[in-house]
Every structure is written in C-alpha cells, then in structure tokens.
Amino acid sequence: MTAVPRFTLYSRSYCHLCEDMLAALQAFMARLGMAYAVDVVDVDADPDLVSRYDELVPVLVDAAGSELCHYFLDEAALRRHLGLQAAAA
C-alpha cells in the first residue's frame, strides 16, 4: 500500500492567496486522481510561525517540513515532489 502524500498549508484568515492555493492544490490532486491529506495551519496562532512565514504565506510544505512553494501553487515542484514526470507541453 502506498503512503498518501501529506501536506501542511501555512495560511492566515482572510487571505485570498491562501484560499487560492488550497483550491489549486485540491484541483491539482483531483486531476491526478490521487488521495492526499492537507492540514491548514493559521500562522497567526503561533508567534514562531509568524516569525518564520509571516509575509511568505501561503506556504505549502511536505510531511518532512520542506517548503514546496509559497504565494501560488507550483505544479512543477509538486509533480517533482510526487515523483511524476512533467506534463508534455
């Protein structure tokens, strides 16, 4: 059985870029037909997260805590992370 990819989306309330990245991640994974899990964490609830991510949100990280992208979903980076070939142009 293959492990389901797990992500954390560092976000904040009333952030349209954060909402957009979550929607883009959901659409991307749906197109792949791949199960996944995502935890959405409000950076403003933790001073350490604010100091780390403040102006970078939204930030998508993998289960190991490696940053995959910020501001907008980087589908190429996500494909590399998932071990998928880039789509033909």
**pLDDT tens-digit map of 31-80:** 999 999 999 999 999 999 999 999 999 999 999 999 999 999 999 999 99
- What is the CATH code of the structural domain delimited by 6-82? 3.40.30.10
- Predicted TM-score (pTM) of this structure: 0.90
Q: Where are the domains of the chain?
A: 6-82
Query: CA–CA separation, 15 vs 84, rounded Å?
Result: 30
Distance CA 30, CA 79 (A): 13
pLDDT at position 84: 85
